[in-house]
Structure 1
Amino acid sequence: MRPSQTAARAPFRALAAHAVLILWTMIALFPVFVTVVNSFKSKKAIFNQPLALPHGESFDLIGYQTVAAQGDFLLYFQNSLTVTLASLFFVLLFGAMAAFALSEYRFRGNMLMGLYLALGIMIPIRLGTVAILQMMVASGLVNTLTALILVYTAQGLPLAVFILSEFMRNVSDDLKNAGRIDGLSEYRIFFTLVLPLVRPAMATVAVFTMIPIWNDLWFPLILAPAEETKTITLGSQVFLGQFVSNWNAVLAALSLAIVPVLILYLIFSRQLIRGITAGAVK
């Protein structure tokens, strides 16, 4: 294929990539739409007309009233937001630093270290739940947000290193060498030259990391089940019983829990789209 033909088709490839991304976004948001719509309905309307918009007799705010009356959901939101933002910060910082070291410096065991970190993607961290709980008990970190932050940071680092190292290998060596000639330290080269060029990759890592952290129930239930350390996902379980479940309150709590995730997604979405569609315009 001639270079002129490749250049002419590049805008169409970018348009197709954006169209596919929009389509998948609509498919992914449909369950969110159903959840939010049904949170404003009575229990009878939820089961009789789950896809209909709330109107007339079906409109009911009993779910939100129950959420406001039972439990400290403001504290649950604060706990979830603290754990998610702190974990994201450490995952991006330490993951980017490790990726820079693996991609920039050649040393004995470089490939072995990369393979070791990649194993964390294939082996679920939940397999070590018993050992993690024993470590947290010995450290006195049970029922603390620090325990969750440490676990989620360790959980997100393998994927962060794997993705960011590939992007950092594509950063121009001439640019980094020019910075060294100008007297920049390795830290300044990393923070001022390399990180701005891999922002789309970091946004991608942030999006794929924050959603499992925000929605996780396993580790909050095991490591921080106390009332003062409950996350929003764990706090929502109070409305789910063995025999009877308050679906109005469950849907209302989940609808409120979606808002921070959407805000974080919108913050990173522009860089995420750039990272996903980068290969479509080459």
Structure 2
Amino acid sequence: MKTSVAGRAVSYVAAYMFALVSLYPIVLMILSSFKTNREIFASPLSLPQSFGFATYRKLWEAVPFADFLLNSVLVSGMSVLMITVFSAMAAFYLSRFSYRWTGALYFFFIIGLMIPIKLGIVPLFLLMKNFGLLNSLWSLILIYTASGIPISVFILTGFFRTLPVELEEAARIDGCSHFQVFWRVLLPLIRPALATVVIINFIHAWNDFFFPLIFIQEDALKTIPVGMMVLFGEYETDWSLLFAGLTLSALPMIVVFLLASRQFMEGLTAGAVK
């Protein structure tokens, strides 16, 4: 009994230490956003001399941060919405309908996990140019949707296959169509998987720097990762503004994770215990 209590105490201490180490960079970033450049270099680990929002007001005046934020929200939100809808329907079809081509179709999605989408940057650039989508947010939305569907289909298909077929049979006896079975019966049961898909793809779309750099040239259409590059000067960088921008850009990800964290943890641990 004592050994069990001691082991549990060690586990809690290790967990708290890991949490402190993980949260320390975030806390340091937030505290640095309230400092001046001189304070950051003179005492980087200390508390700011005063807490005020002057740095944040200066940030909104120095760069069109509101445009960057709106663009990131639109791109990430639309991408996640399209990924979730299309992936859920594809996973439902792959897990519940067995035809000769079902296996090949599922393998087609799996191939998308094996091939990095950045390898096709030249064909993608030409494709977007031919469709007139260069310097458009739709180019980012379509690319993120295409790159996020394979992993999402893989996750959701596994969850759909764990659901008992008797649920669908009972729903069909009550007169439900295929879509009603999918929408009203099965979809609410895979909320942990949907939360996992939402968080994974939102973080990827929100933090991506590569594709906005390639496809977006107009400042008013840039997302936060690319727009923040304006704050890096050739000879001098205002680190207080940079930390303020990073703090604001991290808030939506924190909010999304807090809203879906419970479902996300259930999705990660689903199937661990029989």
Query: Structure 2 length as normaliser, TM-score?
Result: 0.88
- Is residue 42–residue 62 contact of structure 1 (8 Å, CA) maintained in 2? no
Q: How far apart are the structure 2 equivalents of 1:24 and 1:183?
A: 52
Q: Equivalent of 2:191, from 196, 199, 206?
A: 199
**Please, which of 222, 225, 233 is the counterpart of residue 225 of structure 2?**
233
1:119–1:238: structure 2 CA closer, same or farther, 3 Å change rule?
Answer: same
Label 1:25 to 1:151 Cα distance change in 2 as closer, same or farther (>3 A).
farther
Match of 2:104 among 105, 109, 112: 112
Report if aligned partners of 2:60, 2:66 keep a CA contact under 8 Å in 1. no
Identical-residue share of aligned pairs (%): 38
1:94 aligns with 2:59: no
Query: Is residue 68 of structure 1 aligned with residue 52 of structure 2?
Result: no
- State the superposition RMSD in angstroms: 2.4
Paired residues, what number?
265
- Within 1, Cα distance between the matches of 2:266 and 2:22? 19
Asked if the contact 1:41/1:61 (under 8 Å) is kept, the reply is no
What does the per-residue CA deviation read over 1:136-174, in whole Å, with 9 as the maximum and x for residues that have no partner?
111011111111110110111011000000000011100
Q: Residues of 2 paired with 1:208 and 1:195: CA distance?
A: 19
Residue 90 of structure 1 and its aligned partner are, at CA, apart by 0.5
CA distance in 2, matches of 1:117, 1:156: 10
Structure 1 residue 52 corresponds to structure 2 residue 38? no
Q: Which runs of 5+ in 2 are unaligned?
A: 1-10
Query: In structure 1, what residue type is equivalent to 2:154?
Result: F
The 5 A counterparts of 1:4-83 are 27-55=21-49, 63-83=55-75
Amino acid in structure 2 at the alignment position of 1:111: G
My pick for the range that moved more, 168-177 or 68-77, is 68-77
Deviations 1:59-84 (A, max 9, x none): 67564243121221111111110111
Q: Which residue of 2 aligns with 1:256?
A: 248
- How far is the alpha carbon of 1:278 from its aligned partner? 3.2
Asked whether the equivalents of residues 87 and 153 of structure 1 are also in contact (C-alpha less than 8 Å), the reply is: yes
TM-score, L = length of structure 1: 0.86
Q: Which runs of 5+ in 1 are unaligned?
A: 1-16
- Using a 3 Å threshold, how does the CA distance of structure 1 residues 22 and 144 change in structure 2: closer, same or farther? farther
CA contact (8 A) 2:128 2:139 kept: yes
CA contact (8 A) 2:109 2:153 kept: yes
1:169 and 2:169 matched:
no
Contact 1:76 1:235 in 2 (8 A): yes
Alignment of 1:133-152 (within 5 A): 133-152=125-144
